[in-house]
Structure 1
Amino acid sequence: MPDTRMPPEAWDRLVAGWQPSEVDLLRAPILSDWYPVWRRGALVVVGRVSYHHKAADGTVVQTTPVLRMAEDETWLRTRREYFRLGKRFERKPIEEIVEAALGPAAPGSVIKASDRLPGPDWDPYPDLPLPPVEDDDDTPRP
């Protein structure tokens, strides 16, 4: 397996505030419907990827730990690569989800949105599914 870690010189530039070039960002895959998550004590980002060299468009992926993110949330750098950031994932109100799934309630209806849900265990705020966790190395974990 090839070593994909950042060389020390690249790390030094990143820590010193170096910005990616236009070429770096043009080559970078795009994450849309993304959101940050803490995994094993590190910040990673989960989202739908486009233009990635290993994953099909629309695949939900989890990045390696994030080293740096632009203040305007337009790009981020992981240990392996840059990503351009598209639209951030937004939770929607239950009424909006129910109406989108089942259509609008009849005029004058006294049925609440929660009465139209498919079951008692239904999650009113579904998140994007998490992809399987992949380790970056073969180090055994306790």
Structure 2
Amino acid sequence: MTEVVVEPDDTARRLREYVRDNPDVRHEDYRDAEDPVRESCYVLAEAYFHALGGTDSGLDIYCLSWSDVDPDYEGTHWFLRDDDAVVDLSLPDPVAGETVPWNAATRRAFITGYEPSNRCERALAALDIDY
């Protein structure tokens, strides 16, 4: 079974807290979500990746297309991997990752490549995190 880490350090904790307190940083389709962290996989993965050094962070970017799991599903799920674990700041706890088909995901760059998106930059700036 794949180890899942949801809050590996203080930077992750601060990013998760920021997302909970700032609904505007989430994608507009998810701003009314009951649990803001669960609906913020992209910005959390992207901000954490850049906060830890971007391409020098030792983290790989992954995207799971739910339609690859089941043709009736829609959407994507973004997360990071290091050598030993899945790093997914958008899960409430590691148990929530037990049913995710991690191996169906593909390694890729973010939508903005390796440059931070505007939402990512806002989160990092608000927390005074250099990247």
Place the TM-score, normalised by the shorter chain, in its bin.
under 0.3
Which structure shows the bigger proportion of residues in strand conformation? Answer: 1
Which structure shows the bigger proportion of residues in helix conformation? Answer: 2
TM-score by length of 2: 0.27
Q: Which has the larger radius of gyration?
A: 1
TM-score by length of 1: 0.25
Greater length-normalized contact order (CA 8 Å, ≥ 6 residues apart): 2
